[in-house]
Amino acid sequence: MKFKAIVADIDGTITCEKRELHLGAMKKIRSLKIPVVLATGNTLCYARTASRLIGLEGAVIAENGGAVTVRFDLQGTFEESLEECEKAYSFLSEYFKLTKLDPLYRKTEIALRRDFDLEKARALLKTQSLDIEMVDTKYAIHLKSTKINKGVGLQKLAGMMGLEAEDFVAIGDSENDVEMFEASGFGIAVANGDEKIKEAANYVTDASFGDGTVEAIEFLESNGWI
């Protein structure tokens, strides 16, 4: 096996427990000769800033696949409008007090503070004929189109880079990374990952958070896979 690029989730994967960037993971990522793409549920500007500050090329998947850019000098492309998400938000707001996160910067999905009963909200949402689902990243709950996810984003970005999604190794920590693992050639979950991502993974690290990402990259290097 030989892979041509890595796609790494941000929160919980290249960070420490309190969400600060993990310096060991930064150093390891910077030492690589292959492209590293960041994929996050967070906003496009957050992802681009992280890419810039880590020393990468600006290839990012943001808003769980809803927004993608391949370089800093190119604008992002956006897959979906917020219309259906807003309908779901209005509906759920009748039952819960919801707080939107960074609404000014989100163009394709709505992120919510994790302070309401997700399972109850999921059950309620099912009664509506909306193509909207809820994913929990452990940092936010995202109301998003069922048509977009990080896997769809990876297919799109890989094409823009002249690669296939299978050329990528994906590293992640939660359920919003599952489709990205499925689309990629090999998925590695860090030890702090949730049950869903560990189940979807080809390999689970012993170490957590950024230490897990360092371990993942060393594992790939020691096998000669990157």
Ligand X SMILES: O=C(O)COP(=O)(O)O
| Shortest distance in whole angstroms from residue 39 CB to ligand X | 7
Binds ligand X (CB under 6 A): choice among 41, 65, 187, 212:
41
Taking every pair of Cα atoms in the chain, the longest distance, rounded to a whole number of angstroms, is 54
- Residue 181 CA from chain centroid, whole number: 10
42 interacts with ligand X by CB under 6 A: yes
69 interacts with ligand X by CB under 6 A: no
Is 73 annotated among the ligand-binding residues? no
From the list 9, 136, 167, 211, the catalytic residue is: 9
According to DSSP, the β-strands at 141-145 and 132-136 are: antiparallel
| Shortest distance in whole angstroms from residue 222 CB to ligand X | 26
| 47 Cβ neighbours under 8 A, 6+ residues apart | 10, 38, 39, 40, 60, 61, 62
Which of the residues 168 through 207 are near Mg ion (CB under 5 A)? Answer: 173-174
Is 177 annotated among the ligand-binding residues? yes
Task: Answer yes or no: 194 catalytic.
Answer: no
Phi, psi of 190 (to 5 degrees): -80, 155
70 in helix, strand or coil? coil
Is 11 annotated among the ligand-binding residues? yes
- The residues annotated with a catalytic role in the active site are 9
Instruction: State the residues that interact with Mg ion by CB under 5 A.
Output: 9, 11-12, 173-174
